Amino acid sequence: MQKRKLGKSNLEVSALGLGCMGMSSGYGPAGEKQAMIAVIRSAVESGVTFFDTAEIYGPFKNEELVGEALAPFRGWVKIATKFGFKIGPNGERMDGLDSRPAHIKEVAEASLKRLKTDVIDLFYQHRVDENVPIEDVAGAVKELIQAGKVKHFGLSEAGARTIRRANAVQPVTALQSEYSLFWREPEVEIMPLLEELGIGFVPFSPLGKGFLTGKIDENTKFDATDFRNVVPRFSPESRKANQAVVDLLNSIAARMKATPAQIALAWLLAQKPWIVPIPGTTKLPRLFENLGAASVELTPADLREINAASDKITLQGARYPEHLQKLIGR
């Protein structure tokens, strides 16, 4: 597995990471613990050195899973986690955000214990909290870095102005936001800014929450606990309308003896050398398929063809329900 540096930082990770959220929440029932540990450890054995989690995934269960799975390999893997959502005293999800500096430090201490480590490699603000100046957030993480408890500061789904303000206080190593052939909006404003400031980009949902694998169509039924049930882009009507982007990937994949998922990930890797996608999965075959994308070489002509065809496709449906849409790009 090739390595990449996130922006101008010294954080070097595998070209593809592993998003671990879906092992505990979001896409239906949590996976069986030992099976999920096996997937994470197989990723390490396949060359993955970058693993993504957050306290809110579960809550807490995903950090505990990642900590246990990676404990034998801690010396050569990098773990990213996140703070910023309100969580109740009994670990229940609550509405609202909390990025008060004192709370950030409490989360860091708790995450360190759950992750079985003495340092967090990359600590993201999960969503921008408009009740706390971003300078205060960046300052709190800066103090954690100075204390040796965190190595790098990141933001997730932040807007351009916030990124610039945060970076002035504590250099931002990476932005994590959604980016794929299913959601190309970051190309307009965010990616030029990241390039200017030397910030890496970690696309989550690089396979469009599974849609770009070609395994989902208008008739697919999701588990009652699956987040996609409330996502407008995943309504049956939207899925039917959006099939055009999968058809595009299928046509390229057939020619290159690859899969649609591999083409989608290879396309992302080809955009910038400081992009590190984090596809998630709970299945070993899917893990190996995704990692195979690192070996798919798209030529400039291939990329022009994909971009030209993608530009003609108007995707249908918002990528979040309204109450979550308000939390992005702030």
pLDDT tens track for 11-64: 999 999 999 999 999 999 999 999 999 999 999 999 999 999 999 999 999 999
| Torsion angle in degrees (nearest 10) through CA of 40, 46, 51, 52 | -80
pLDDT digits (tens, 9 = 90+) for 68-100: 999 999 999 999 999 999 999 889 999 999 999
Q: Is 320 a residue whose pLDDT tops 90?
A: yes
Query: What DSSP string describes 189-239?
Result: THHHHHHHHT-EEEEESTTGGGGGGT---TT----TTBGGGG-GGGSHHHH
Q: Which of 57, 124, 179, 320 is catalytic?
A: 57
Q: Above 90 in pLDDT, residue 137?
A: yes
- Indicate whether 311 pLDDT > 90: yes
The pLDDT of residue 89 is: 87
Is the Cβ–Cβ distance between 165 and 172 less than 8 Å? Answer: no
pLDDT at 90: 87
Work out the pLDDT band at 7, boundaries 50, 70, 90: very high
* Domains (range + CATH), the chain: 3-210+272-296 (3.20.20.100)
* Beta-bridge partners for 79: 51
- The span from the CA of 178 to the CA of 249, in Å, is 19
Buried b / exposed e across 294-329, counting CB within 10 Å, b at 16+? Answer: bebebeeebeeebeebbeebebeeebbeeeeeebbb
* Residue 25: its H or E element: none
Q: Which pLDDT belongs to residue 10?
A: 95
Computed over every residue of the chain, the mean pLDDT equals 97
Per-residue pLDDT band at 144 (split at 50, 70, 90): very high
List, for residues 253-270, the tens digit of each pLDDT value. Answer: 999 999 999 999 999 999
Question: Can 27 be counted among the known catalytic residues?
Answer: no
